[in-house]
Amino acid sequence: MVFPSMELNQRRWNRLLLNGFWSVLLLSALVECLYLASTTVRTFSFVWLFVIRPSALLALIIGAAEAGVRRLPRFHDYLLISASTLIAVTITGVHANLPYLPFSLLFPILVSTFYFQLKKLLFALICSLSGMIFLYLFVRTLQKALSAMDIVTVSLFMTAYSAIAVGVLMRGREILRHLRSSYEKHQELLVHTIVMDKLAKTDALTETYNHMAFHEYLARLTEQAEHGLPLHLAIMDIDSFKSVNDTFGHRAGDEVLRTVAGIVRSLASESDVVARYGGEEIAVLFTEKTLVETYETVESIRASIASSGHAALDGRSVTISIGLAAYVEEMDKEALFRSADMALYQAKHAGKNRTVVASLTAAATKSSPA
């Protein structure tokens, strides 16, 4: 069984482990210096045997681990576990007459738990048991201090400690699975909510926003327009749409409406809001454009629709009339809509297939042959 690799901030944790190794070296030297006051061994011999020599060996081990982690980052975990084993073996070997020090061989097992992987824990257990066997076979002082049964007891204790560590890892994996499952369910719920919200605000036929969504955007953008956002509203109505339905059928009318809405969407920018307001009416909220730019855009839309044939109408085209209004200071959303709707009314009664700008009728009206 392989536990998920915990690679998050691994460099930082490697650095913390290496700092911990250096701390062990300093602590070991400090403890030896404290013993210096009570030892019967000559000062020079004691310092050499129990301070300088083991500290130099520990520094060599930790320095090699530092270099290994930098040059062989792929094996950083095994290198640090091995280094912790050598540190424990060195400390135990130097003080073999102290019967409790073999328990320092639990150090590699403790280090392995940082990686949350069972194979690293098993590797650490093998290293600890191998270190214990090595010390018992080659360090005579330890052979005198501990019996074979003591070694077996320590080894069993290491195994039991490893079993507890396995339980901790299994519990960690269980929690990780629960968190991942909760996260995935949350993501699914979020996606579902977004989809449902989009469906609730989208017109199924034209794939534009619906009447409800249009009024939400109109209210929101009108508030922003009070703080300087350029805002224009265009209401577009397909000319003689009732005759299209009466002559070619409602299915053909739906195809025409879908095509017209597609042309409007393709010529509007990403910052504009396109919505089906009524049966054959499409409303567009233009932002970040001047009145001239907005007028040019709606004229492009009108001209493109007028020149596009429809298969459902035997290749014939339809035209649209457009009422365009600009937001002015202290205008509320109802006033903006009424202004655009009145301009549309004027466009319809002026001959259709044209754009009328509210309050600028004479200067901004452009028509083309019906």
Is 330 or 225 the better-scoring residue by pLDDT? Answer: 225
Q: Residue 298's pLDDT is what?
A: 96
How far apart, in whole angstroms, are the C-alpha atoms of residue 244 and residue 316?
Answer: 11
Q: Where are the domains of the chain?
A: 10-181, 211-367
Predicted local confidence at residue 160, as pLDDT: 87
Residue-level pLDDT at 159: 87
Longest pairwise C-alpha distance within the chain: 118
Torsion of the alpha carbons at 309, 310, 315 and 318, rounded to the nearest 10: -60
Average pLDDT, the chain: 86
Residue 367 has pLDDT above 50, yes or no: no
Lowest mean pLDDT among 3-12, 117-126, 185-194, 347-356: 3-12
Topology (CATH) of 211-367 = Alpha-Beta Plaits (3.30.70)
Contact of 297 with 337, CB cutoff 8 Å: no
Question: Which H helix or E strand runs over 6?
Answer: none
Alpha helices in the chain (DSSP H): 10-35, 43-47, 53-71, 76-94, 107-112, 118-138, 140-145, 148-201, 211-225, 241-248, 250-267, 291-306, 333-349, 361-364
Q: Return the pLDDT at 360.
A: 44
Answer for the pair 242, 253: CB distance below 8 angstroms, yes or no: no
Q: Stretch 229-251: mean pLDDT, rounded?
A: 93
Flag whether pLDDT at 137 surpasses 70: yes
> What is the per-residue pLDDT for 8?
56
Mean pLDDT of 252-267: 94
Q: Give residue 51's pLDDT.
A: 85
Instruction: Give the pLDDT confidence of 302-361 residue by residue, as tens digits.
Output: 999 999 999 889 889 999 999 999 999 888 999 999 999 999 999 999 999 999 999 743
pLDDT, position 370: 37
Higher pLDDT, 180 or 39: 180
Q: How many CA atoms lie within 13 A of 203 on its CB side?
A: 25
pLDDT in the model for residue 237:
94
Residue 336: its pLDDT value, please?
A: 94
Report, in angstroms and rounded to the nearest whole number, the Rg of the chain calculated over CA atoms. Answer: 40
pLDDT digits (tens, 9 = 90+) for 186-222: 888 887 777 777 677 888 899 899 999 999 999 999 9
Residue 33 has pLDDT above 90, yes or no: no
- Average pLDDT (273-292) is 92
The pTM of the whole model exceeds 0.75 = no
